[in-house]
Amino acid sequence: MKKQGGSLDMPNVSVIISTFNRSERLKKAIQSVLDQTFQDFEIIVVDDASKDSTEYAVKNFNDKRIKYIKRSKNFGNDTKPKNEGILASKGEYIAFLDSDNTYRKDHLQALYQAITSDSRTDVVYGDRWLIDETGKIKPQLGVYSEYDPAILYKHNFIDTSDVLVKREALFKVGGWDERFSKYVDWNLWLRMSKAGLFFKRVPLVLTDYYLHSEQKSSKVTTENEKKFMEWTGQFENIPDWKPITKRSIEDFGAYDLEIRLPYLGEIKEPRVAIFTLTHDRLDYTKECFNSLHKTAGFPFKHFIFDNGSKDGTVEWLEKYEKEHDSLIIYSDDNKGISIGSNRMVDAIKSEDFDIIVKVDNDCNFITDGWLAKMVDIWKSNHRLALSPYIQGLRDNPGGAMRISYGTVKNEYVGVTKHLGGICHFVDADAYKFFRWDTHDFLHSRQDLELSRYLIMNKFQLAYLENFFAEHYHGTEGQEKDYPEYFERRKEEKTKRYET
């Protein structure tokens, strides 16, 4: 047996085949895996309580790489069998094969090479031929596309049998959604996409997809779907679990689908880190921090970098640290915004946080529950970078210009290409490779750096239009409160740009 680096006890790839009453088709599916050029695999067949000769068909192969699991009760669709197959698997990479389809000989080899050649890649997928009932290849490929999240929101172009997925990626989103009986592969790819997992297309025909009258998609009716919707009792004892509503089943709700499900591992509340830089202006800091704790509506740990304050801020922060879940780093002199921000991100990344929020110490929060709402939105899309509507800005009322408007989780949002640095909320993975350029001292330049980076890495930037914060005292008020600060900044800009 040709090995690619694994063993019979610990194969690199697990191929999961879920099936129900398809013994003849199943034999062809299994044989197509056994015939692969890549041989470092196990096959896990999960039989959803078939009444035909499925068990005999599987055991007749007499191959130690094949594990057979027969469920005692039919679930009604293949989501639960697939999740059970994942839990029983040993491979670092998981492939799925519907029992009415077959792999081409180089299917696993091509996908394995693609997913292992780039450590960032979480999901790879190939193309497929459509084959009719007579065995004739139809004169077109199945629906296919290079990976594009925007297209994926509109329609599915990846079939279950097309993919090879990192095991850890499946556990990150909690598996197949057992509340659905159709569109289940689309559901999984959407949740993975919104979790920020990286997809890559392998432009080769690797699967034969058979069209026939027994297909699941041709048998599921609207009435079946409505009956299935009522089955939510098994989720009642899972904390923070919200059963699917009629609306989200009928129109699928691609944008609002929650990402993390409880089928592979437990659901945990996300951990939020907020970081703030301080430099004098103690009155602003007090107002900011008080409003944070008063309005956030969700627990957080506060990371603070003091840039050499001399006005009593240090002494006040020492008391603050004893009263709140926080970590404070003190600098003897002003290191600047970029260096201080990078120090905060590094401190946060040394712990296990899911979300990072940057808050300037002149930001005063007005709307109750702003952080709780952002976390709620994050649960259904990790690729949104958010800010509340910012009042009191002289040059950009409300924040940067919006390019469109929409709703997410029933909240009105304004989409933008730039988020100001007064407050921004983003998935912690955004900072995996990003740090601010320490040669740029201007606040606006840092905001531009981060905004451009987020857009390049497929994040969408948006303002929550009905959740408000203020640039404390407004730009004019701050200029009156601290004229020497504004004058110093003006001199720095003049010197830097020779204007």
- pLDDT tens per residue, range 259-284: 999 999 989 999 999 999 999 899 99
Q: Is the pLDDT of residue 221 over 70?
A: no
Question: What are residue 405's DSSP bridge partners?
Answer: 414
- pLDDT, greater one: 40 or 410: 40
Specify whether the CB–CB gap between 252 and 244 falls below 8 A.
no
State the Cα–Cα distance between residues 249 and 230, nearest whole angstrom.
Answer: 11
pTM for this model (two decimals): 0.83
**Span between the terminal Cα atoms of the chain, in Å:** 73
Q: Residues 345-361, buried b or exposed e (16+ Cβ, 10 A)?
A: bebbeeeebbbbbbbbb
Split at pLDDT 50, 70, 90, the class of 117 is very high
Pairing, β 272-278 against β 301-307:
parallel
Instruction: Give CA–CA dist 389/326, Å, rounded.
Output: 26
Per-residue pLDDT band at 488 (split at 50, 70, 90): low
Q: Is 155 a residue whose pLDDT tops 70?
A: yes
The 3-state DSSP class for residue 138 equals strand
Instruction: For residue 84, give every residue at least 6 positions away whose Cβ sits within 8 Å of its Cβ, in sequence order, or none.
Output: 46, 69, 71
Counting residues of the chain whose pLDDT is more than 90, the rounded percentage is 65
Residue 487 is predicted with a pLDDT of 61
CA 162, chain centre distance (Å): 21
Q: Which pLDDT does position 3 carry in this prediction? A: 42
Confidence of residue 361 (pLDDT cuts 50, 70, 90): very high
Among the ranges given (50-54, 304-308, 491-495), the one the predictor scored with the smallest mean pLDDT: 491-495
Coil vs helix vs strand at 199: strand
The mean predicted confidence, pLDDT, of the chain is 85
The two structure tokens encoding residue 24: 């003849």
User: Looking at residue 142, what is its pLDDT?
Assistant: 63
Residue 179, helix vs strand vs coil:
coil
| Structural contact between residues 261 and 343, judged by C-beta atoms closer than 8 angstroms | no
210 or 231, which is more confident: 210
The two beta strands, 163-166 and 123-131, are: antiparallel
Q: Where in the chain is the domain with CATH 3.90.550.10?
A: 13-250, 272-497
Q: How confident is the model at residue 473 (pLDDT cuts 50, 70, 90)?
A: low
What mean pLDDT comes out for the span 331-341? 91
User: Predicted confidence band at 213 (pLDDT cuts at 50, 70, 90)?
Assistant: low
Give me the long-range contacts of 452-460 (CB less than 8 A, separation at least 24): 454/385, 454/419, 454/426, 454/430, 455/417, 457/430, 458/149, 458/196, 458/383, 459/383, 459/384, 459/385, 459/426, 459/427, 459/430, 460/383, 460/384, 460/385, 460/415
Q: How many CB atoms within 10 Å of residue 344?
A: 23
- What topology does CATH give the domain 272-497? Spore Coat Polysaccharide Biosynthesis Protein SpsA; Chain A (3.90.550)
Q: Output the CA torsion sign for 280, 281, 286, 288.
A: negative
Parallel, antiparallel or unpaired: strands 41-47 and 423-427: unpaired
Asked: is 13-250 a CATH 3.90.550.10 domain? The reply is yes
User: Out of 121-135, 143-157, 346-360, 479-493, which region has the weakest mean confidence (pLDDT)?
Assistant: 479-493
